[in-house]
Structure 1
Amino acid sequence: MRVTMKKFKNLLSIFISALLFISCDDRATYTWNKDSLDNIINENDDKMILVDFETDWCVWCDRLDEDTYSDNRIIEFAEQSLISIKIDAEKKDGPDQKKKYRVRGYPTILLLDPSGNELDRIVGYRPPEEFLDELIRIKKGENTLADLLAKHKSKVEHNPTELSLARKYISLNYPDSAKKHLDNIYNYQNKKSQLDFSIVFKLSQMYDQVGNVERSIDILEHIVDGGIDSSDTAYFYGILFRSKKNNDIDELYQYVSFSENVERNKQSYWQIIRMLKKQNKDPELEAECYLKVIDLYDSDYKYLASLLNSFAWRMTELEKNLDIALEKINLALTYGEDIKMLDTKAELLWKTGMTNEAVQIIDKCIKLDPDKKYYKDQKNKFLGLST
């Protein structure tokens, strides 16, 4: 049979497409064990256990799935060294496991030994390379709680080692144990004629993390009075912590009005936004501050799309700046179509009276995740139907 050049090209195109489909279909994926954590511990002999605490609404959990668990290096390490399980902290036995392992935020990734004892944890999102470095470190037993305790035993009054140990207790959510070591360092520094700025400043931050903001403020004021705060760092954090302690934004809002330090202004605005949201009494000012803080981020900021989505959704809750929020969510979607961002856009369209457009967007969400009841409820809400 004679094959023309046109037919040959068509056959070649089909063949290449088939190869691409097969290669994509055979792509390695991260393996998650479906058994219960208790069963995994009882039946495991030699591998570390990775426990990923997540929730349905956690944006950074989704990002971890997309960026990190999809990385071939992470998949290869997991296949060789880990048994992995996901736990939704709000469903089934998730709340009990969350309490047992002292989980405060998401994602929190625990690394347990084969008997179920915690070796260490990774808190928050990490890109693939950082995540792999942490897995390797923990597997080697470096900078784990056991490792730091051994180092501290040989250097009882070595402040940097004791700081590292306190920091580890904080990450493991053992505030009382952390405070014991912070108090040791605090008492040691108080005996010195000259404060070590790098030590006492870290001390002030860590006291805040264990809930002793009064001690944090005391240390920061001591630094300022001692004349060793050349960059006004302690001065700024003193304002930040006083606003937190007194639940009053006035001093912080005054600071940000004249400060030209972009990073400190970001911290200031986020603190003000958190306090206003908690107080739930000045939505106008919260919306104003939210708009100001997102404008401080450059277009090449890695997580700009997620930031814009958070802003846009909060505006739907406050019912402020809806037109601007729609512009921002459209900008976020130029970085890639994401189901949570589409949901935000649908909500904004509905709140601005564009019901038909909102339904079209939420239909996309339903198509992307047909099993999720939330998106169907959203559509019913837009159409004025009961859920």
Structure 2
Amino acid sequence: MKPRFFVVFLFVFLFSAALVYSGELNIEKCELSQLKSLAKEKNTNIVINFYAYWCPACRELYKSVLTSEGVKKILSEYVFARCNGEEGEGEKLFNQYKITAFPTLLILDASGKELDRLVDEIDEGKIKKSLEQVKSGKNELEELAKKSDANPKDVDLMFNVCMSYVFKADREKAKKYCEKVLKADQKNEKGYASQVLLSLGKYLYFRGLKDYDLAAAHLEQVIKLFPDSKEAKSAFVFLISSYVKSGKEGVAVMKLRELVKKNPNSKEPYKTFAYISWKNKWRIEQGIENAKKALDLEPKDDDAWDLLAELYFLKGDKVEAAKAEEEALKLKPGEEYYKEQKERFSK
């Protein structure tokens, strides 16, 4: 090979490689039509990371996994976007694809059809495995479901299949396998029954399918059947939110007042009321009042100060929101999230 030709060849090769992977994570705008257009143009699939600003696992996923060299290189082969699942176009897509939890990585083809999704505990290995299976056309969950059908006494496998279908918002298959788990672990000896009822209510029906009556029915069962389980506390928060979403505000208020009455000297009932007010953008003034009561009982609760700041921000009072966040920062000066929050409220 002539030296001059070799130099030209080397330049073209290196330039082409730079187009494939530049070393940076290329994040596209959260707009489905644009993502589909880019995917068709590049003859590849789409990967969307759904996140929420308040979600610690979402921040950790982005900081430690998505921006790692290995994952950046993997994602360079795809059209990648990050979507805030609670705002604008991101919220529309969150609802359209029935996303059940934060964080989620959703894999779509160029037409927008879902191919796979990863939820919650996501690492480089899981991302690589999922994308490879999509390429090969392999469906690991379907294979596990068949294995579960062939081994009806394997409750652990049955539980994993049930939960996977819950997070994928596959109503019929989730119902099929989760009902089997509930029957096999009626007394909650394995702790599966309480987890399944909570997950059906919280993830499948409340977040994924927006069927608030069915969500409430399953969450009520968690509290009724397994009141001492760790799932019962989480179930209560989503149960009240289900009442709010379905227009049963009177029931929601009554249940919250009952909780406060049972524990008048504890900050937790007041924080619960404030949290539900914030998450549902509901009765904001009462939420502020209850956050303050929680802080009267425990002034050093940085989380309660952050919650109060969120409520003031919803009210439109940025000054008070920034002041409340400053109190959270005083208690935990090294907390990056509180610094980001204060900056957000100060804009």
The worse-fitting range, judged by mean Cα deviation, of 27-36 and 156-165 is 27-36
The separation in 1 between residues aligned to 2:235 and 2:28, in whole angstroms, is 47
In structure 1, give the amino acid aligned to 2:199: M
- Please give the per-residue CA displacement for 1:93-126, whole angstroms capped at 9, x wherever unaligned: x5664444223666542123677543432446x6
CA gap 1:122/1:107 in 2 versus in 1, 3 angstroms:
same
Report the CA distance shift for 1:234/1:68 in structure 2 as closer, same or farther (over 3 A): closer
Contact preservation (8 Å) 2:220, 2:235: yes
Q: Tell me how far apart the structure 1 counterparts of residues 215 and 221 of structure 2 sit (CA, whole Å).
A: 10
Is the contact between residue 41 and residue 114 of structure 1 (CA under 8 Å) also seen in structure 2? yes
Is 1:31 aligned to 2:32, yes or no? no
Q: 1:182 to 1:78 in 2, by over 3 A?
A: same
Instruction: Check whether the contact 2:47–2:78 (CA below 8 A) recurs between aligned residues.
Output: yes
Q: Is the 8 A contact 1:308 1:332 kept in 2?
A: no
Counterpart in the other structure of 1:249: 256
Counterpart selection for 1:287 from 269, 272, 292: 292
> Pick from 196, 213, 217: which aligns with 1:214?
217
CA distance in 1, matches of 2:300, 2:259: 19
User: 1:1-387 maps to which residues of 2 (within 5 A)?
Assistant: 28-32=23-27, 36-43=34-41, 49-53=46-50, 58-60=53-55, 65-79=62-76, 82-87=78-83, 97-103=93-99, 108-112=104-108, 117-123=113-119, 130-139=122-131, 141=133, 145-156=141-152, 158-189=154-185, 196-209=189-202, 210=205, 211-218=214-221, 220-223=223-226, 233=230, 246-247=251-252, 248-254=255-261, 256=263, 270-277=271-278, 278-280=282-284, 282=286, 283-289=288-294, 295-296=300-301, 309=306, 311-317=308-314, 324-329=324-329, 334-335=334-335, 340-344=341-345, 346=346
Equivalent pair of 2:65/2:71 in contact (CA under 8 Å): yes
Shift of residue 137 of structure 1?
4.0
Identical counterparts, % of pairs: 14
Contact 1:110 1:118 in 2 (8 A): yes
Residue pair 1:48, 1:114 contacting (<8 A) in 2 also? yes
Under a length normalisation based on structure 2, what TM-score does the superposition of the two structures give?
0.61
The equivalent residue for 2:11 is none
TM superposition shift of 1:159: 3.2
Secondary structure at the aligned position of 2:191 is classed as helix
Task: Give 1:50 shift.
Answer: 1.3
Question: Is the CA contact (8 Å cut-off) linking 1:197 and 1:223 kept in structure 2?
Answer: no
Shift of 1:135: 0.9
In structure 2, the gaps of 5 or more residues are: 1-21, 206-213, 244-250
Distance 2:188 2:84 in 1: 45
Letter in 1 for 2:97: Y
Match of 1:378 in 2: none
Name structure 1 gaps, 5 residues minimum: 1-26, 260-264, 298-303, 347-361, 363-387
Q: Secondary structure at the match of 2:67?
A: coil
Is the 1:28–1:72 Cα contact (8 Å) retained in structure 2? yes
Q: Using the alignment, how far apart are the partners of 2:51 and 2:101 within structure 1?
A: 9
Instruction: Determine helix, strand or coil for the equivalent of 1:50.
Output: strand
Q: CA deviation at 1:201?
A: 2.1
**Mean CA deviation greater in 238-247 or 100-109:** 238-247
Measure how far apart 1:167 and its partner are: 1.5
> How much is the aligned-residue C-alpha RMSD, in angstroms?
4.5
**How much does 1:269 deviate?**
5.5
Aligned length: 288
